[in-house]
């Protein structure tokens, strides 16, 4: 597929968490390109532990959204990310409002998971997710990490419905689509440098 010319820095600065999508589908070629970009992420000890599940069935997306909201409302031990039970969770009330779609109308979900235990595998999955999101930006597509969806995507009934093997833990759910309008830019605080040791003068 043809991608517009965009430097890595352009993609980094243009990527936005997008929360409004058109009905335009994401084609198989684009999905293929996104997954190729994802697997070129750095990977600890060359483990390449990432696995991908793609959901483009809107009824299933709605079921995952509803299940996530139900799980947020009733925290349980299946909350691998501590989202629902974290005392400092700042999830807005809208997340549990009836009719709210946690996927914001996006028609494609790429769930990145792993069978490997440990922090390195989790890091690898998120690095793959970031590659995927930057590649999507370069292809003119929009994305948003939907961390809360990991709740339902690690629920046995949802795993079975999606076709995710029982022993796979979903780490990074990412929605992909065509943005409806320009997302609001999110500001950033300046980098906090706690230390920068320079060579000492001889
Ligand atoms: C690990 C992670 C989980 C996230 N989960 C959600 C989510 O469940 N729902 C959502 O709307 N945004 C989610 N986001 C998107 C952030 O809210 C967004 O990245 C942040 O507001 C900064 O905006 P920007 O990405 O446009 O710079 C998540 C981001 C990360 C990194």
pLDDT tens digits, one per residue of 60-109: 999 999 999 999 988 665 555 555 554 445 677 787 788 999 999 999 99
Q: What sections of 76-118 are H helices per DSSP?
A: none
pTM of the predicted protein model: 0.92
**What's the pLDDT score for residue 76?**
65
Per-residue pLDDT tens digits for 158-186: 999 999 999 999 999 999 999 999 988 88
Query: For ligand 1, which residues put their CB under 6 angstroms from it?
Result: 16-17, 19, 144-148, 186
Give, in words, the CATH class of 8-77+101-177: alpha beta
Helices 28-38, 119-138: axis angle to 10 degrees equals 140
Ligand 1: centre distance to CA 201 (Å): 44
Summary count for the chain: helices (H), strands (E): 6, 4
Per-residue pLDDT tens digits for 26-64: 999 999 999 999 999 999 999 999 999 999 999 999 999
Give the C-alpha separation, 123 to 13, whole Å.
22
For 4-11, what is the mean pLDDT? 90
Return the DSSP state at 46: G
């Amino acid at each position: 597929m043809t991608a517009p010319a965009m430097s890595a820095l352009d993609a980094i600065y243009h990527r936005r968490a997008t929360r409004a999508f058109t009905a335009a589908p994401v084609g198989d070629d684009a999905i293929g390109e996104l997954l190729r970009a994802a697997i070129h992420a750095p990977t600890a000890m060359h483990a390449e532990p990432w696995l991908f599940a793609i959901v483009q069935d809107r009824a299933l997306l709605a079921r995952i959204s509803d299940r996530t909201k139900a799980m947020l409302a009733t925290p349980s031990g299946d909350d691998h990310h501590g989202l629902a039970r974290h005392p400092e969770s700042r999830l807005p009330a809208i997340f549990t409002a009836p009719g709210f779609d946690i996927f914001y109308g996006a028609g494609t979900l790429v769930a990145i998971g792993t069978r490997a235990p440990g922090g390195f595998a989790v890091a690898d999955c998120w690095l793959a997710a970031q590659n995927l999101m930057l590649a999507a930006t370069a292809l003119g597509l929009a994305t948003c990490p939907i961390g809360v969806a990991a709740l339902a995507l690690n629920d046995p009934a949802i795993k079975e419905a999606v076709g995710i093997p029982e022993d796979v833990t979903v780490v990074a759910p990412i929605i992909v689509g065509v943005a409806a309008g320009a997302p609001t830019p999110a500001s950033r605080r300046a980098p906090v440098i706690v230390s920068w040791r320079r060579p000492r003068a001889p």
